[in-house]
Structure 1
Amino acid sequence: MPAFEALQTVPRSGELVDKAFSRAARAGRAKEGIEAQESMLITAANILSDNLENVVTNWPDFDTVDPFYRELADAVCRDTEGVPGVDALRQNLSEVGWASRQIDELRSEYQGRIRRSGPDTARKVRKQAFARFADICDEVEDDLLALGEAREALKTLPDIRADEPAIVVAGYPNVGKSSFVNHVTNARNETASYPFTTTQIRVGHLTRERIRYQLVDTPGLLDQPADERNAIEQQAVSALTHLADAVLFVLDASGDCGYPIGAQLELRDELRERFAGAAAADEDAVPIVTVCNKSDRSRGIEADAYMSVTEDENVSGVLDLVVEAVGHEPELPFDG
């Protein structure tokens, strides 16, 4: 399951206050005098405090989220001042947690004051407490809105499993990337757009020797030089460096794609530096397999393999090659 798929809807501050005070009014009608005011106070405070706390605990610990999804959260949830998404979200969650604790503390304070009040002043004290509850909720209104917007964005991220080997398919447009992915995987691939950008990602799956592989096609993302990517796309590329077990770079030497072979090779070399450099710290550089597609029209470039998807020539051979490059070995249970 993606890291943020289970996030629940984040309530607005006004919705919370209306809900809490409405429930409190019903609780108060069941009693009289000081008991009625105390019951209203406790009901409203518990609803507000519990709901605010639930907002915080519903979010995952970003320190334990897979780096791929953490990088994407950084990209798609930057605040208006450009603060990375994870830092901004942590601040929002901290403020909401503070509000929950403040309301709980005020409940104890005003409960004591109501009990020490006479029948004529208990209602006034309870109304003072309600005003302070509403003020606290107003203080975190922007934080709740930011978390709600982030939730809407993050829940649409593609379903990519960090525990399954991933092959990232790259190359300029019209070189045959999507055709290859569609050819070797299930016909109906998952498609999702990154929030706040037109860039998409397509994920296909195939199984080899009981191991499920993910083929990740990224139109609009890994088909352009770095200086042409916006900030979100740059961050998404960074996220993919945490995900990829191998990169399949597709070239078109025939020229039919509309891009010169020199530009294609420059993009391949840029990605090779990016993925190899990102993995160097782990002493496990991501292999990049270069394949020349449309080989029935031209083989005028050095590559690790040649294929023609349209003619179904050596497609399975290319797949074998990139699966071998992944070198994934399943974890076996300890057999004693």
Structure 2
Amino acid sequence: MIFESLPTTPTSEELIDQAFSRAARAGRAKQGVEAQQSMLQTASNILGDNLHNVVTEWPDFDHVDPFYGELADAILREEFASEDGIDELRQHLSELSWASSKTHDLGREYIGRLPNDAEKARSLRKQGFGRMGSVMDQVEDDLEAVGAARDALKTLPEIQPDVPTVVVAGYPNVGKSSFVNAVTNASIETAEYPFTTKSVDIGHFERDHITWQLVDTPGLLDRPADERNEIEDQAVSALTHVGDVILFFVDASAACGYPVADQQALRAEVGDRFGDAPLVTVCSKTDLSAEIEADCYMSVEGGEGVTETLTAAVDAVGHEPELPFEE
């Protein structure tokens, strides 16, 4: 996942301590004016290079997959308590880029101004350190914000946008989790959205040597849009970029606690939201009731229709692997 490898963002205090302590060691290795020059060079390099690295470790959001871009924007809007997510992060990174250039410039400026007198050079070097410290004070909040953004995004659910994906939807307790557990070839991966206490469940299965992804999103696609907050709604929008087909589960018995009419209304809403992605309606819990019109009828409990439901999802997509060019 693109944000998982982002390194921990240092604080302003940590960078200042590192730069000035390393500079002091560099100065002790030399004498007179040369020692002051070495200290300025070391401090400016450490500050400038580390700030530059913080900025360049982040991906270019203009080239991030739309799923991760939109989800990241939602999470950062929540993190920053702002109407801007990615744009605000870009502003913080821009400030750090300025500070990187400024600390390098200050190192060069003060090295160029050092007199031949060792004591005067020492005084000027201290002045240079003071100005570098002032620059770091100016970006203290920017470093903190970038660090908070990194911590929020590193826990994003690891959904793979380039893998054909079945999104499972429907009200709670309609049999979605039982189905996902029944058809996946490994244990379910569970991850939490940073903006909710709900988890996303991700499973995988293979069909015709192609690995497919199954995504169940409790807290997002299990209730009407007017019950989701703005951040959750944007997360649903992000999911539209990865959903190749929607399996919508309806419990015709209403044993799930939701009237069939409400379930069908949510189905229509989800279908509209995902636009061109085919929607396959699954009547689940057929051991209790099958009294609705659906594309598939299934009972995980009774072991009926499970494979057929998965096949219907795959067939609805019509996904074909890319084959090597043949003469």
Quickly name the TM-score band, shorter chain normalised.
Answer: over 0.9
DSSP 3-state at the match of 1:290: strand
Post-superposition offset of 1:335: 2.5
Paired residues for 1:135-284 under 5 Å: 135-276=134-275
> Could you give the per-residue CA deviations for residues 35-61 of structure 1, whole angstroms, max 9, x where no partner exists?
000000000000000000000110001
Instruction: Read off the aligned partner of 1:108 and give its amino acid letter.
Output: R
Q: Which moved more, 1:228-237 or 1:311-320?
A: 228-237
Q: Which runs of 5+ in 2 are unaligned?
A: none
Post-superposition offset of 1:147: 1.1
Instruction: Specify the alignment match of 2:127 in structure 1.
Output: 128
Paired residues for 1:54-133 under 5 Å: 54-78=53-77, 80-114=80-114, 116-133=115-132
Q: Which runs of 5+ in 1 are unaligned?
A: 277-284
Instruction: Read off the aligned partner of 2:97 and give its amino acid letter.
Output: G
> Could you give the per-residue CA deviations for residues 141-166 of structure 1, whole angstroms, max 9, x where no partner exists?
11111111111111111111111101
Q: Is the 8 A contact 1:197 1:232 kept in 2?
A: no
Q: Which moved more, 1:80-89 or 1:297-306?
A: 80-89
Identity of aligned residues (%): 62
DSSP 3-state at the match of 1:243: coil
1:321 corresponds to 2:312: yes
Q: Distance in 2 between matches of 1:208 and 1:81?
A: 43
Q: Distance in 1 between matches of 2:116 and 2:240?
A: 64
Q: Distance in 2 between matches of 1:64 and 1:196?
A: 24
Q: Is the 8 A contact 1:52 1:99 kept in 2?
A: yes
Post-superposition offset of 1:29: 0.3
Q: Distance in 1 between matches of 2:57 and 2:124?
A: 33
Post-superposition offset of 1:187: 4.3
Q: Distance in 1 between matches of 2:46 and 2:5?
A: 22
Q: Distance in 1 between matches of 2:27 and 2:296?
A: 77
DSSP 3-state at the match of 1:302: coil
Q: Distance in 2 between matches of 1:222 and 1:81?
A: 24
DSSP 3-state at the match of 1:47: helix
DSSP 3-state at the match of 2:214: strand
Instruction: Read off the aligned partner of 1:323 and give its amino acid letter.
Output: V
Q: Distance in 1 between matches of 2:137 and 2:164?
A: 46
Q: Is the 8 A contact 1:199 1:233 kept in 2?
A: no
Paired residues for 1:325-336 under 5 Å: 325-336=316-327
Instruction: Specify the alignment match of 1:302 in structure 2.
Output: 293
Q: Distance in 2 between matches of 1:244 and 1:117?
A: 69
Q: Distance in 1 between matches of 2:128 and 2:302?
A: 75
What TM-score results when the alignment is normalised by the length of structure 2?
A: 0.97
Query: How many residues are treated as equivalent by the alignment?
Result: 326
> Could you give the per-residue CA deviations for residues 68-105 of structure 1, whole angstroms, max 9, x where no partner exists?
00011111111545233211111111111111011111
Q: Distance in 2 between matches of 1:144 and 1:231?
A: 27
Structure 1 stretches of 4+ with a deviation exceeding 2 A read: none
DSSP 3-state at the match of 1:8: coil
Q: Distance in 2 between matches of 1:80 and 1:204?
A: 31
What TM-score results when the alignment is normalised by the length of structure 1?
A: 0.95
Instruction: Read off the aligned partner of 2:308 and give its amino acid letter.
Output: G
Q: Distance in 2 between matches of 1:216 and 1:84?
A: 27
Q: Distance in 1 between matches of 2:198 and 2:206?
A: 27
